Structure formats: C-alpha cells, structure tokens
Structure 1
Amino acid sequence: MSSITRRKALGVAAGAAAGAAAGLALAGQATAATARTAAPAAGPAAPGSFDEVYQGRRIKGGPAHGGGHHGGHHTGGYSVTIDGEELHVMRNADGTWISVITHYEPVATPRAAARAAVRELQGAPLVPLTLS
C-alpha cells in the first residue's frame, strides 16, 4: 500500500523549504560576490595633491613622476614627503594606504597616512628609507 502519511508529507515539505532557503542564500552570496568584483577595471580614482603644514611639519603629496627615491615602485604612483624627506607610502589592494611609519594602520588617503606618520614621529625627523 502506498499511502502517504502526515509525517512523510511534513518531512518532504520541510526538506523542500530548507532546500529553497539554501538556494536563496547561495544566490544572495553570488550576487554579493558579483557586486564586489564588478568594480571598474581602472580601480579607485587617484587621490588629489596636497600641501599643508600639519602639527608644525610640512607634508606634501601628489602623483609620482618616476623621479622619487623609489621611482614609483609600490606607491600606487603617488609621492608623499614630510619636511622634504620622502615618506614611503603604499596602496593596499582594498584601496587603503599605509606608510613605512604606520605600516599596520591602513588609512583612506595618502594625506591621512602623512598625518598619521607626523603624529607617530612626535617631532623626530623622518630618516630616508634606504634599500639594499
């Protein structure tokens, strides 16, 4: 005899509902992943130039033209100086910036990286980074 019981019907319904919920969750994850990877191929816009005195230190930043100490290597094409000495900055894959002084504190812009370095230096001079 092939009669369906209430227990079997509820089990089938619950399984179908769980499968549908899992499918919706996977579809939502796929949509979110597509949205994350659908960024423009050119990446985030390059930050603008700045030139200011911050806590008594002259900080400047702007697009690098290959003539800096590192020749634009790992700088995202951007150069930053504190009192005329180059502050090595680097753009992370997520668009944040770090400096050699504040390597573990990513910030949104090179200006913020320069300001964080000035605070960290606490009046000490910026010594040029030498690579061997």
Structure 2
Amino acid sequence: MPEISRRRALTAAAALTVAAGAQALAVSASAAPATSAGHEEHTGHTGHDEHTGHQPGSPSAFDEVYKGRRIQGRPTTGGGHHHEHGGGYSVFVDGVELHVMRNADGSWISVVSHYDPVSTPRAAARAAVDELQGAALLPFPAN
C-alpha cells in the first residue's frame, strides 16, 4: 500500500477544515437567536410592513418613502455570494440594491455607511439616504 505524502495529508486536512467550517457556519446561521430587530416602531413613515412569511428573527419587509427616496427591503431566498452577507435580506434605494451585511452581534451595516452599525436593514437604508445627501446610489459590482 503506497504511503500518503505530507502534501496529500495537508491538502486533505485543509479540505476537511473548510468543509467543517462551512457546515458550522450554516448551522450557526440557521440557529441564530430571534431578536426584536426589525420590529421597530412603525409610526411616522409612509410605507407598509409585511409581517407574514418571514423567518423568525428575520427583519420584516418594508417599502416606504424616506426623505423623498423610495427605500425597500425584503427577505430573499436563493444563493449568490453577495447575498450571504446580507443574511438573506435585500435592501433597495430608488430601485438600486444597497448591499447590506449583518454583523455577528445582530447589527447591520451597508456599503454606504460601513462604519455606523444600525439595528435593522430599514435603519441601514435610512442611514444610506442620509449619507447620500440626494446623490444617486450607484450599482455596486459583485465579485
């Protein structure tokens, strides 16, 4: 029986580590504790929240006009690398996707306000509108 080389052993160990890490990440993402994020106060906006059909702990959908800009957010299904960071949630400003990411502590950041974490995707959309100061949100190329 041929002996296994050090290179093959290290390659196999690396592959197992990556597979185990990916599985642990998937398990931890599906077992994330439900929070009250997304159940913020619903007064003072012109949109309508959908409270059905979303995952427990997942923010509810929204569609509103904030400071003259239409902001929308909704849970997403399906794959794609850039959707994984958004925790299965998409946000749009005037129809252009605002890339958002959910942090480990449950807060959200966007590509526009990356250093100012907020509690919900709606707050991330509003912060982006504030930061844009009337400028158009340009599409962000996915890798």
Report percent identity of matched pairs. 68
Deviation (angstroms), 1:69: 9.0
Give the structure-1-normalised TM-score. 0.64
SS at match of 1:106: coil
Partner of 1:47: 59
Q: Alignment length, in residue pairs?
A: 92
Deviation (angstroms), 1:122: 0.4
SS at match of 2:123: helix
Partner of 1:25: none
Counterpart-to-counterpart distance in 2, 1:69 and 1:57: 27
Which of 61, 64, 76 matches 1:64? 76
Deviations 1:75-112 (A, max 9, x none): 10000000000000000000000000000000000000
Unpaired stretches in structure 1, ≥5 consecutive residues: 1-40
Counterpart-to-counterpart distance in 2, 1:93 and 1:82: 24
Unpaired stretches in structure 2, ≥5 consecutive residues: 1-30, 35-56
Q: Are residues 81 and 67 of structure 1, via their aligned partners in 2, closer, same or farther at CA, if it must alter by over 3 Å?
A: farther
After TM superposition, which residue ranges in structure 1, 4 or more long, deviate above 4 angstroms?
none
Counterpart-to-counterpart distance in 2, 1:83 and 1:68: 22
Question: Aligned letter for 1:89?
Answer: V
Rg larger for: 1
Partner of 2:111: 100
Question: Aligned letter for 1:108?
Answer: S
Partner of 1:115: 126
Partner of 2:46: none
RMSD: 2.1
Question: Aligned letter for 2:104?
Answer: A
